[in-house]
Structure 1
Amino acid sequence: MKRILHIDSSLFSGDGVSSTLAGEYVARLLEQNPQWRVTHRDLGRNPIAHLDATRLTAIMTPEADRTAEQRTIAEEADTLIREVQEADLLVLGVPMYNFAIPSVLKAWFDHIARAGVTFRYTAEGAVGLLEGKRAVILASRGGLHRGQPSDTQTDYLATMLGFLGIRDVEFVYAEGLNLDEGSREQAITSARDAIEQLLAA
Structure 2
Amino acid sequence: MKILHIDSSILGDASVSRQLSKAIVNQLQAKNTAAQVDYLDLAEQTIPHLTAEILMGQNAEQSALGEQILQQYLDADVVVVGAAMYNFGLPSTLKAWIDRISVAGRTFKYTENGPVGLAGDKKVYIASSRGGVYGEQSPVDFQEAFLKTVFNFTGVSDIEVVRAEGVSMSDIKDQAITTALDQIAKI
Measured against the shorter chain, the TM-score band is over 0.9
Q: Given residue 4 of structure 1, which amino acid in structure 2 is its aligned partner?
A: I
Q: Given residue 178 of structure 1, which amino acid in structure 2 is its aligned partner?
A: S
Partner of 1:63: none
The residue matched to 1:84 in structure 2 has which SS? helix
Matches within 5 A, 1:1-201: 2-58=1-57, 70-146=59-135, 147-180=137-170, 182-197=171-186, 199=187
In structure 1, distance between residues paired with 2:102 and 2:8: 18
Q: Given residue 157 of structure 1, which amino acid in structure 2 is its aligned partner?
A: L
Identify which of structures 1 and 2 has the higher relative contact order when contacts are C-alpha pairs closer than 8 Å and 6+ apart.
2
Q: CA deviation at 1:15?
A: 3.6
Q: CA deviation at 1:171?
A: 0.4
Query: For the pair shown, which has the larger CA radius of gyration, 1 or 2?
Result: 1
Is the deviation greater in 171-180 or in 7-16?
A: 7-16
The percentage of aligned residue pairs carrying the same residue is 39
In structure 2, distance between residues paired with 1:38 and 1:14: 20
| Cα contact 1:25–1:195 (8 A) shared by 2 | yes
Question: CA-to-partner distance for each residue in 1:80-128, whole Å, 9 max, x for gaps?
Answer: 0100111000000000000001100011000110111111111111111
TM-score (norm 1): 0.89
| Cα contact 1:131–1:166 (8 A) shared by 2 | yes
TM-score (norm 2): 0.96
| Cα contact 1:48–1:104 (8 A) shared by 2 | yes
| Cα contact 1:30–1:36 (8 A) shared by 2 | yes
Question: CA-to-partner distance for each residue in 1:33-67, whole Å, 9 max, x for gaps?
Answer: 11010100000111111001121122xxxxxxx6x
Q: CA deviation at 1:196?
A: 1.2
In structure 2, distance between residues paired with 1:42 and 1:88: 19
The residue matched to 1:46 in structure 2 has which SS? coil
Unaligned ranges ≥5, structure 1: 59-65
Q: CA deviation at 1:14?
A: 4.6
Q: Give the root-mean-square deviation of aligned CA atoms.
A: 1.1
Matched residue count: 186
Structure 1 residue runs of 4 or more that deviate by more than 4 Å after TM superposition: none
| Cα contact 1:13–1:42 (8 A) shared by 2 | no
